[in-house]
Amino acid sequence: MAGLRQQAAQYLGLDYIRIRTLLALRRKLMVRQFMRQPGQLGGIIVMLVTLGPLVLILAGMSAFVYLTAPGIWPVNVLALVLVGLWLVWIVLPLLAFRMNEGLDMERLLIYPLRSRELVASALLGTLIDWPTYFTLPFFLAILIGWFTSPAFWVVLLAAVLGYLHMMAASQLALTASTGLLRSRRFRDIAIVVASLAGSSCYFVTQGLQAAARSLGVETLQSVRPMFFLQWLPPGAGARSVELVLAGDWPQALLWLLYSLAWLAACVWAWWSLLQRVTTGVTIWQPRAAPATRKVRLASTRPSSSESLLRWLDPCTRQMFIKELRAMWRIPQRRIGALQSIISPLVLLFFFGMNGRAGGSVPSTWVSLMLPGLALFSAWSGSMNMLGMEGRGLPTLLLSPVPRRHLFTGKGLAIWLVTVTPLTILAGAFTLVARNPSAIVSWLAMLGVALAGIAVNIVAAVYLAWPFDEESTRRQNTGGGCASALGQVVLVPLAMLVAGAPILLPLSLGAFLNLQWLQTGAALASLPYGIILFVFAATQAGQLLPAREAEIIEATRWPSPR
pLDDT for 200: 53
Residue 19 lies in a domain: yes
Check whether residue 394 and residue 532 sit in a common domain: yes
- For residues 380-396, average pLDDT: 87
Angle (nearest 5°) at CA 119 between 115 and 125: 145
Residue 508 lies in a domain: yes
Check whether residue 133 and residue 28 sit in a common domain: yes
Check whether residue 266 and residue 398 sit in a common domain: no
Angle (nearest 5°) at CA 247 between 241 and 249: 70
Angle (nearest 5°) at CA 30 between 26 and 36: 140
pLDDT for 390: 82
Residue 284 lies in a domain: no
**DSSP collapsed to 3 states, 260-290:** HHHHHHHHHHHHHHHHHHHCCCCCCCCCCCC
Residue 143 lies in a domain: yes
Residue 366 lies in a domain: yes
pLDDT at 368 over 50: yes
Check whether residue 263 and residue 332 sit in a common domain: no
- Alpha carbon separation from 214 to 206, 353, 389, 521 (Å, rounded): 12, 18, 51, 48
Q: How many CB atoms lie within 10 A of CB 307?
A: 9
**DSSP collapsed to 3 states, 55-101:** HHHHHHHHHHHHHHCCCCHHHHHHHHHHHHHHHHHHHHHHCCCCCCC
Out of 154-168, 192-206, 352-366, give the one with best mean pLDDT.
Answer: 154-168
Residue with the larger pLDDT of the pair 325 and 33: 325
CA–CA distance, 59 with 62 (Å, rounded to integer): 5
pLDDT at 258 over 60: yes
- Alpha carbon separation from 372 to 5, 228, 427, 446, 507 (Å, rounded): 58, 48, 17, 11, 11
pLDDT tens digits for range 436-485: 677 888 899 999 999 999 999 999 999 888 877 665 444 444 556 777 78
Check whether residue 272 and residue 322 sit in a common domain: no
Check whether residue 77 and residue 143 sit in a common domain: yes
How many folded domains does the chain comprise? 2
| HSE toward the beta carbon, residue 101, CA cutoff 13 A | 17
Residue 291 lies in a domain: no
Confidence band, pLDDT 50/70/90 cuts, at residue 404? very high
Residue 228 lies in a domain: yes
Buried b (16+ CB within 10 A) or exposed e, 232-258: bbbbbbbbbbbbbbeeeeeebeebbeb
Give the domain extent around 265.
2-202+224-278
Check whether residue 273 and residue 334 sit in a common domain: no
CA–CA distance, 115 with 426 (Å, rounded to integer): 62
Check whether residue 110 and residue 23 sit in a common domain: yes
pLDDT for 99: 53
303, 307, 313, 314 alpha-carbon torsion, rounded to 10°: 20
pLDDT at 380 over 80: yes
pLDDT tens digits for range 42-81: 666 767 777 788 888 988 999 998 988 887 888 988 999 9
Residue with the larger pLDDT of the pair 482 and 551: 551
Residue 324 lies in a domain: yes
| HSE toward the beta carbon, residue 498, CA cutoff 13 A | 31
Q: How many CB atoms lie within 10 A of CB 407?
A: 29
Check whether residue 169 and residue 246 sit in a common domain: yes
- Alpha carbon separation from 40 to 236, 401, 484 (Å, rounded): 37, 34, 11
CB 271 within 8 A of CB 263: no
pLDDT for 542: 93
pLDDT at 184 over 80: no
Check whether residue 381 and residue 257 sit in a common domain: no
Check whether residue 234 and residue 344 sit in a common domain: no
Residue with the larger pLDDT of the pair 558 and 267: 267
At residue 477, φ and ψ (nearest 5 deg) are -110, 140
CB 88 within 8 A of CB 162: no
Check whether residue 268 and residue 330 sit in a common domain: no
- For residues 188-211, average pLDDT: 56
